[in-house]
Amino acid sequence: MTNTASQPLFETVAFIGMGLIGSSMARRIKRDGLADKITCAVRSEATRDRVLELGIADEAYCDIKQAVGDADLVMVCAPVGANEAIGAQLTGALKKGAIVSDVGSVKQSVIRDIAPHLDEGVHFVPGHPLAGTEHSGPDSGFPELFEERWCILTPIPGENEAAIAKVKALWEACGMYVECMDADHHDRILGITSHLPHLIAYTIVGTATDLEDALRQEVIKFSATGFRDFTRIAASDPTMWRDVFLNNREAVLDVLGRFQEDLMALQRAIRWGEGDKLFELFSRTREIRRGIVD
DSSP-derived pairing of the beta strands 177-180 and 10-16: unpaired
Strands of the chain (E only): list them. Answer: 10-16, 35-41, 59-61, 73-76, 99-102, 123-125, 127-129, 150-153, 177-180
Report d(CA 150, CA 130) in Å as an integer: 6
Which of positions 204-263 make contact with ligand TYR (CB under 6 A)?
Answer: 236
Number of neighbouring beta carbons within 10 Å of residue 167: 25
Which CB, 15 or 230, lies closer to ligand TYR? 230
Q: Which is nearer to ligand TYR, 41 or 152 (CB)?
A: 152
Question: Nearest distance from residue 111's CB to ligand TYR, in Å?
Answer: 16
Pick 194 or 231: Cβ nearer ligand TYR? 194
Rule CB under 6 A: is residue 160 a binding residue for ligand TYR?
no
| Contact status: 134 vs ligand TYR (CB under 6 A) | yes
Residue (78 or 131) nearer to ligand TYR, CB: 131
By DSSP bridging, strand 150-153 and strand 59-61 are unpaired
Residue 194 CB, nearest distance to ligand TYR (Å)?
5
Q: Name the residue nearer to ligand TYR (CB basis): 10 or 241.
A: 241
At residue 15's C-alpha, the angle toward residues 12 and 21, to 5°, is 125
The interface mask with ligand TYR, positions 172-211, x = CB under 6 A, is ----------------------x-----------------
- Residue from the set 82, 88, 115, 130 that interacts with ligand TYR by CB under 6 A: 130
Q: Which of 125, 128, 105 is nearest to 114 (CA)?
A: 125
Task: Of 107, 188, 178, 187, give the one whose Cα is nearest residue 149.
Answer: 178
Residue 68 or 183 having the CB closest to ligand TYR: 183
Task: Indicate which single residue of 132, 141, 155, 191 sits in contact with ligand TYR (rule: CB under 6 A).
Answer: 132
251: how many CB neighbours lie within 10 A of its CB? 21
Kindly tell me which residue out of 133, 160, 223, 231 binds ligand TYR, with binding defined by CB under 6 A.
133
From the list 3-11, 22-30, 61-69, 130-138, the region that binds ligand TYR by CB under 6 A is: 130-138
Q: Would strands 127-129 and 150-153 be described as parallel, antiparallel, or unpaired? A: antiparallel
Q: Is 19 exposed, middle or buried (0-12, 13-18, 19+ CB in 10 A)?
A: buried
Residue whose beta carbon is closest to ligand TYR: 132
Interatomic CA distance for residues 227 and 124, integer angstroms? 41
Binding segment toward ligand TYR, per CB under 6 A, in 60-68, 74-82, 132-140, 265-273: 132-140
Binding residues vs ligand TYR (CB under 6 A): 105, 130-134, 194, 236
